[in-house]
Amino acid sequence: MQVGSVGIGGDNPVRVQSMTNTDTRDVDATLGQIAALAEAGCEIVRLAVLDEAAAKALVAIRAGTTVPLIADIHFDHRLAVAALEAGVDALRINPGNIGSEAAVDVVVDAAKAHGAPIRIGVNSGSVAKELLKKYGGPTPEAMVESALEHIAFLEARDFYDIKVSLKSSSVLRTIAAYRLLGARVDYPLHIGVTEAGTPMRGAVKSAVGLGILLAEGLGDTLRVSLTGDPVTEIGVAYEILRSLELRARGPEIISCPTCGRTEIDLVGLAEAVEERLRGVPEIFTVAVMGCVVNGPGEAREADIGIAGGRDCGIIFRKGEVLGKVRGADNLIPAFMDELERFITEKKESACD
């Protein structure tokens, strides 16, 4: 499947998506957020299209970015058609709430004409009443049956450029639903735990739910849904993928949790390193270790690292000791200087 310039499924990597939380009618604000998301590594952006004015704004938004765009449509099929005519790359709809069968026919015909995929988005909060009654609630089985009905609806219209999502705020329900659907269909899956919560809670729920699914080979695109700035979602998404060795973006920072043996300002050093590396795209490993027990070994395995000692730190690069820095006030400046040299060399080698 292609969403704009981005390939999905098959041999493609798991793709990172997000959704703007600006008013789509505010073109400048929306383009600004899309640019920030793209800079953070977001590959596909979804936008809410609430009304005709938002659909019209998509023309200017499309002209202002090359990032693949998905229009999120509910209730009014005419907005889906207008979004496609404005140049969006794909639709996210729920065929059950887009209108009559004739309305769905219009949307499908427009999607075919524009070569645009459709994501069937099933949420536990929007399962049809008859399925809720049949299963006693928004169970995984109810969500999957809903998805299969919508898939059949599109297939009956000879439309197969389909991606499917089954989202719930319950981690266990989400996992169970995707497992059931994954055993039934071969369509690309967009995975996520919806309404996951504020950054800390939402990151934990997403890491657990998405991590399990990805480890089982389920998931072609993902979104980490967090309350707040959507740019935050991107870093969490890439850390989930990195932890499973599926994708990497930017440096990995290894730092110990500290204990009674720590004799340097490890927290301050780790925070300084993290801040400096924010936005750096090159892939390498930095170790910031607090004592002589595990520190030297971990630091030696990293591309660059520091291991603390009594009022001192030993700096390593590629397993080689560069030197010892004495004095607590000198540790952060000395390591940051060496880190700057390393980053410069990394960038220069990438250009060769």
Q: How far apart are CA 270 and CA 308, in angstroms?
A: 12
pLDDT above 90 (res 20): yes
Lowest pLDDT segment from 4-18, 66-80, 237-251, 277-291? 277-291
Could you read off the pLDDT of 103-136 as tens digits, one per residue? Answer: 889 999 999 999 999 999 998 888 888 999 999 9
Mean pLDDT for 31-44 is 96
Residue 299: pLDDT over 70: no
| Best-predicted range by mean pLDDT (73-77, 96-100, 255-259, 318-322) | 73-77
Rounded Cα distance between 197 and 206, Å, is 10
pLDDT in tens, 213-234: 999 999 999 999 999 999 999 9
Q: Above 90 in pLDDT, residue 155?
A: yes
Fold assignment, 252-351: Sulfite Reductase Hemoprotein; domain 1 (3.30.413)
What pLDDT, on the 0 to 100 scale, is given for residue 291?
75
Q: Using pLDDT thresholds of 50, 70 and 90, give the confidence band for residue 35.
A: very high
Per-residue pLDDT, 68: 98
pLDDT of residue 266: 82
Q: Give the mean pLDDT of the chain.
A: 90
What confidence score (pLDDT) does residue 114 get?
96
Question: Average pLDDT in the 92-105 region?
Answer: 82
The pair of three-digit structure tokens given for residue 47, joined into one six-digit string: 């936008």
pLDDT > 70: percent of the chain: 96
Where are the chain's structural domains? 2-243, 252-351
With cut-offs at 50, 70 and 90, classify the pLDDT of residue 292.
low
pLDDT of residue 171: 94
Tell me how far the alpha carbon of residue 319 is from its chain's centroid.
Answer: 33
Q: Which CATH class is domain 2-243?
A: alpha beta
Average pLDDT over residues 312-335: 82
pLDDT, position 95: 67
